[in-house]
Structure 1
């Protein structure tokens, strides 16, 4: 498959011409089509700035890969969804809700998190993680050392605390790109795994 131009019309507030790909961005777009079936609109917009698109993708992959002794996929997606809901970022809410529905097979539970994670049935560990990333997203200037205590008390390790913070920080970045540029959500995630 060869992608010559990636469509950018009506996917953000920007008046962009179609993105002409580089070999690196073409590979990224092809991988996205192969794994998801579509190119995410944020990727298409950032295709105008290949260095940022490639760096964003590398950081995203580094933070979403599970490894032994780290956060599991459900916890990672819970962080992404809580942060994205707090920021009201539709592309990310739709995408991470879909991934969490895929992981859990429970569309109703995920829907509850989309409305208000505080009312959702969460384990003590999940609740500590969600509360921490919500505070870090809503009022980062108020986060203090004592805010780590509930994480530790629920069994989150020091290494995992780094993951929690890094994942929350990354999705705040991603949300700001989408919100700042008016990136429209792809419809595919909204419709999937229901």
Structure 2
């Protein structure tokens, strides 16, 4: 049960963002820029960063939601699972393996990101902006994970919910839907 009253029809982060629209807007806008804006990292790769950080933080809602989005964007269900289990063995580029390692380090503590790992990323072809965005996405998802779990937001168990949410993330992005979310009410 959530620690504060939240809309019953909006589990997870959506209910929290709807609870306070003024604080939600800049968070949503930053997320939209980082995960859907122009980048040399694909949208699927950026969703993998969100997935690996959320998984490391043991945030079931965010892990499941971003796994679903990554799976849709990548067109498979194995890459995100491999990334969650061992990014160094995942079927992604060497550059992406190191960026995922950086994301996992940020998830533990920003101070764990060393000059050595940054040099490895650059040697693997990562640009400064890709490194920047990886660290910022990882940091943002640490915020999201703590927000969702810190207020005990509802975490659905039905896999179909996450498939619908993943589809909404992929096709609509992270900005607030223009019509709001009343259409998601089931009663």
Contact 2:103 2:138 in 1 (8 A): yes
Query: Alignment RMSD, CA only?
Result: 2.4
Give yes or no for the alignment of 1:76 onto 2:46. Answer: yes
Q: Please point out which of 151, 154, 159 is paired with 1:184.
A: 154
Per the alignment, residue 16 of structure 1 pairs with: 5
Alpha-carbon separation, structure 1, partners of 2:25 and 2:100 = 28
Q: Please point out which of 126, 139, 151 is paired with 1:156.
A: 126
Give me the TM-score of the superposition, normalised by structure 2.
Answer: 0.76
Per the alignment, residue 49 of structure 1 pairs with: 20
Alpha-carbon separation, structure 1, partners of 2:120 and 2:126 = 9
Count of residues in correspondence between the two structures: 163
Structure 2 spans left out of the alignment, 5+ residues: 168-187
Per the alignment, residue 65 of structure 1 pairs with: 36
Per the alignment, residue 172 of structure 1 pairs with: 142
CA shift, 1:110, in A, is 2.3
Structure 1 spans left out of the alignment, 5+ residues: 1-9, 20-37
Per the alignment, residue 184 of structure 2 pairs with: none
Query: 1:69-108, aligned counterparts within 5 Å?
Result: 70-108=40-78
CA 40–125 in structure 1, closer or farther in 2 if over 3 Å, else same: farther
Name the structure, 1 or 2, with higher relative contact order (CA <8 Å, separation 6+).
2
CA shift, 1:40, in A, is 5.3
Alpha-carbon separation, structure 2, partners of 1:93 and 1:14 = 21
CA 110–88 in structure 1, closer or farther in 2 if over 3 Å, else same: same
- 1:89-147 Cα offsets, whole Å, 9 max, x none, are 11111111001110122113322333343442332011111111111111322323332
The structure that has the greater radius of gyration is 1
Task: Give the secondary structure class of the aligned counterpart of 2:78.
Answer: helix
Contact 1:94 1:190 in 2 (8 A): no
CA shift, 1:17, in A, is 5.8
Alpha-carbon separation, structure 2, partners of 1:80 and 1:142 = 18
Give me the TM-score of the superposition, normalised by structure 1.
Answer: 0.73
Show structure 1 runs of 4+ deviating over 6 A: none
